[in-house]
Amino acid sequence: MHTLLLLSVLAQVSTSGSMAPKAVAAPTMRTWSDGQRTFKLYESVTLIAEPSPTDARRAEVLALDPSATVFLERPTMRIWKTRDAVAVRARFETFRPVFHDLSSGAGRLRVPVGLVCNGVRTAASWLESLERSGSECLPDFWYAPVLR
Please report, as ranges, the residues that interact with another protein according to CB under 8 A: 1-7, 34, 37, 39, 74-77, 101-102, 104-109, 113-114, 116, 119, 121, 138-148
Least distance in Å: CB of 102 to another protein?
5
Distance CA 60, CA 31 (A): 31
Least distance in Å: CB of 18 to another protein?
29
Least distance in Å: CB of 81 to another protein?
14
CB-nearer residue toward another protein: 15 or 148? 148
Least distance in Å: CB of 129 to another protein?
10
- SS3 helix, strand, coil % of the chain, rounded to 5? 15, 40, 45
CB-nearer residue toward another protein: 60 or 101? 101
The length of the chain in residues reads 148
Distance CA 59, CA 133 (A): 35
CB-nearer residue toward another protein: 2 or 93? 2
Closest residue by Cα to residue 100 from 36, 26, 37: 26
Other Cβ atoms less than 10 A from the Cβ of 142: the count is 20
CB-nearer residue toward another protein: 10 or 20? 10
Distance CA 133, CA 70 (A): 30
